[in-house]
Amino acid sequence: MINHETTQMSTCLWFPELEGKKAADFYAQVFGDAFQLKSENPMVSVYHLFGRQYMHLNHAKAADFNTSVSFVIHVDTQSQIDYYWEKLVDGGSPGQCGWLTDKFGVSWQIVPNILGKLMSNPETAPKATYAFLQMSKFNIAQLEAAVN
């Protein structure tokens, strides 16, 4: 029998050459105290972000990232959306419905917590969906206006 209570899992991102170190430095700047570097060497950076462990592996033959895997940041306020969006999209590219790709090719979603409430209500879900399909970066005021 496997004891799953002692099993741990973490995410490993494979970057070309020394881009992993650059990405770790960038994420430390974006996420501040939520980012805690645990170990670093020329091949591997291990860190915790919001209490979860991640590893950046540097290798000459790194695979390309794509949007089939993304990191979702759940936030409460428009100022949080604006902050993470502006920091992470800088040098990258915006997408639709809160998605963006950062300058390292990593996909992110910046999602307001209110969206879950709006989408779980059968009366507001269609209106909220129509509103956010028109958005790149989420706008909480526009979502609320659309369902009222």
Q: Which residues pair with 73 in a beta bridge?
A: 110
For residue range 33-54, list pLDDT tens digits in order: 999 988 878 788 899 999 999 9
Would the pTM of this model clear 0.75, i.e. be above it? yes
Q: Do both 126 and 59 map to the same domain?
A: no
- Residues 74, 125, single domain; the answer is yes
Could you tell me if 127 and 94 lie in one domain? yes
| d(C-alpha 57, C-alpha 38), whole Å | 14
Domain end position, chosen among 18, 41, 63: 63
Model pLDDT, residue 43: 85
Q: Residue 107: how many CB atoms within 10 A of its CB? A: 19
Look up the domain containing 15 and give its range.
9-63
Q: Which helix (H) or strand (E) holds 24?
A: helix 19-31
Closest-CA residue to 94 (of 54, 34, 41, 136)? 136
Which residue is associated with the tokens 């998605």? Answer: 99
Given a contact cutoff of 8 angstroms between Cβ atoms, the answer to whether 67 and 107 are in contact is yes
